[in-house]
Amino acid sequence: MKNTTIILALFAAISSLSAQEKQTAKDTTAMLRDTAASIKPQPQKIDLTLPLWEPQNKYLSFGFGGGLSTLKYDPKDCDRSPMAGGSINIDYNVFFGKKWGLSFGVGATVYNAKTIINTRFVSSEKIPVTLSDGTSSIEESELYTDFKNWEERQTCIALESPIGLLYRRYLGGNTTLLTGAGLKLSYPMKTSYRVKTGTRQTSGYIEDADLYINPDIPQHGYATKYERPSGTTSTKNVSAGIYLDINFVHKTANANFFYGIYGNLGLSSITKNEGKSLTDSKEYCGLLASNSVDAANLNSIGVRLGVKIPCPRLRDDDNDGVLDKVDKCLGTPANVAVDSCGCPLDTDKDSVPDYLDQCPNTPMGVKVDSVGCPIDTDKDGVPDYLDRCPNTPDTIQVDSVGCPVDSDGDGVADYLDKCPDTPDEALVDTCGCPVDTDGDGIPDYLDKCPTVKGSVKNNGCPIVSAKNKAVLKKAVHGIQFETNNAVIKSSSYPILNKVVTMMKKNPSYKLHISGHTDNVGKPAQNLKLSKERAAAVVKYLTKKGIKSSRLRSDGFGGTKPVASNKTEKGKALNRRVDFEVEF
């Protein structure tokens, strides 16, 4: 409607335009009309097709079939062959997933077999015999029973209860392959026999009387018999067996028709030995009731037709193989692996399912983001649970533990380090540069006087002036002591006072005062004397106002001579007090 209104408005405006303008407007209108047609909403096609099998999980199955059946036994001197048989059954099918299910039900099967006997059975029997003199006796007779073309047919109607597994596979279109296999219990409700054709006759021979009994003496029960006996046997034993079904199921709107083959194999016998003999001349009992058959099993093979009616289904809307009734995660996307509760697998238990988890092997307890990867707050590529420096600024290069790279190992990261190549032994400031405590331009690790401003030429220590050096040099031999004593002579006071003046003018100076002797006397006595004399100098300077913390003394006796002790001049030079300026 809106498109129509726009086009009408354009036509109204065209009437007031020039010819050229009208043509331009017409072209514009045509373009708008085509555009409007192209953006006209198109009806959406909705696919309402449902998958063939997955929406339905329960079926009630009705089937009937027919084929060859037999009562498998091993009759002696007989020919056994199968006959036609049939079955009808009702089964309940329940599928627990896309492929596997369970089937159980009840049914009835007719098993038929026939046996042709062409043989002689030999037995013995005591019979009464009347002799020509009128006397009678009971004699042991050897009996012969001859069967000729004797055809006996057996029928067993069994109530059966099968239970087994089902497997289905979608073949395309509306067809599915359905197979089943399992156990079957068979209860013979009625087992009968019927003789169809043939004859049997009984003759005998009494050895003691050397008498042959002709089969044509009917008064004694010996005659060729053409009867067709029939009857039932007491075969009521429950038989166990196995079965196999292979069917093709064709789906329609309301039902599913199937056709295929079936087979039953009996594993145990249905017969109950009644101790009867086929040679009984008075009553025929049938093969299955005679002692000629030890066991008889129920076997069959054939084709089957039927219909499977869908029952109220066990829903599995997300097709994950877990029924909605027990599915704790309804709506799982297609082809996602789930656990027994129907929830997507989460191998690393981080609450992000594997199909969304980009880091599926995250350690237990690690906090993750929406895609299952460990949180990396500072985005440095090292997750927080491994990151020892979780707040590193952006774009900063980090090491394996998430801390900014510190190439020189001085504790200051490279991005903050103004001196990135500081030696290992250097103490640095917050900028990563070596500390210079005294501010003399010489870093402490190179400065031999790190707390006092000094000169590069003197390794960071102040340079002692020539004047001060002269005072100290004069004091070396200018301080005199009493002989063999540590008492300073008064003549030494002037030079010591100059030392005091120098120390006061240079508060950064510290003095190491060491006493020395010549080699006259015992070494131990000389060592003691040298220490006492050095201590006496320290005491003097302390009394003059120099702090003891700026002074230290040692004595070395005659162990550090500066001249030969062979001359008096040399000995005089060795008797001295050395002054070394320290900082």
Q: What is the pLDDT of residue 396?
A: 85
Q: How many residues make up the chain in this entry?
A: 583
pTM over 0.95: no
pLDDT, tens digit (0-9, with 9 covering 90-100), for 395-420: 888 888 889 888 888 888 888 888 88
Asked if 366 and 352 count as a contact pair (C-beta separation under 8 A), the reply is no
80: nearest Cα among 154, 14, 17, 27:
154
Spatial distance between the Cα atoms of 410 and 429, rounded to a whole number of angstroms: 9
CATH number of 58-310: 2.40.160
Asked if 29 and 21 count as a contact pair (C-beta separation under 8 A), the reply is no
Mean pLDDT score across all residues of the chain: 81
Model confidence band, residue 528 (pLDDT cutoffs 50, 70, 90):
very high
Q: What is the pLDDT of residue 111?
A: 92
Spatial distance between the Cα atoms of 125 and 277, rounded to a whole number of angstroms: 12
Spatial distance between the Cα atoms of 152 and 191, rounded to a whole number of angstroms: 13
What are the strands, taking DSSP E only, across 96-135?
100-130
* Mean pLDDT, residues 326-332 taken together: 87
* Mean pLDDT, residues 276-287 taken together: 70
Does the structural domain 466-582 have CATH classification 3.30.750.24?
Answer: no
Sequence ranges of the chain with CATH classification 3.30.1330.60:
466-582
* Mean pLDDT, residues 551-571 taken together: 93
Model confidence band, residue 5 (pLDDT cutoffs 50, 70, 90):
very low
Sequence ranges of the chain with CATH classification 2.40.160:
58-310
578: nearest Cα among 526, 518, 530:
530
Model confidence band, residue 377 (pLDDT cutoffs 50, 70, 90):
confident
- Please give, one letter per residue, the 3-state secondary structure of 283-319: CCCCHHHECCCCCCEEEEEEEEEEEEEECCCCCCCCC
pLDDT, tens digit (0-9, with 9 covering 90-100), for 344-360: 998 888 889 988 888 98
pLDDT, tens digit (0-9, with 9 covering 90-100), for 482-518: 988 999 999 999 999 999 999 999 998 999 999 999 9
Q: What is the pLDDT of residue 219?
A: 46
Portion of the chain with pLDDT greater than 90, in percent:
35
**Residue 426 predicted with pLDDT over 50:** yes
3-class secondary-structure state, position 383: coil
Spatial distance between the Cα atoms of 534 and 551, rounded to a whole number of angstroms: 11
- Please give, one letter per residue, the 3-state secondary structure of 1-28: CHHHHHHHHHHHHHCCCCHHHHHHHHHH
- Please give, one letter per residue, the 3-state secondary structure of 478-534: HCCECCCCCCECHHHHHHHHHHHHHHHHCCCCEEEEEEECCCCCCHHHHHHHHHHHH
**Residue 234 predicted with pLDDT over 50:** yes
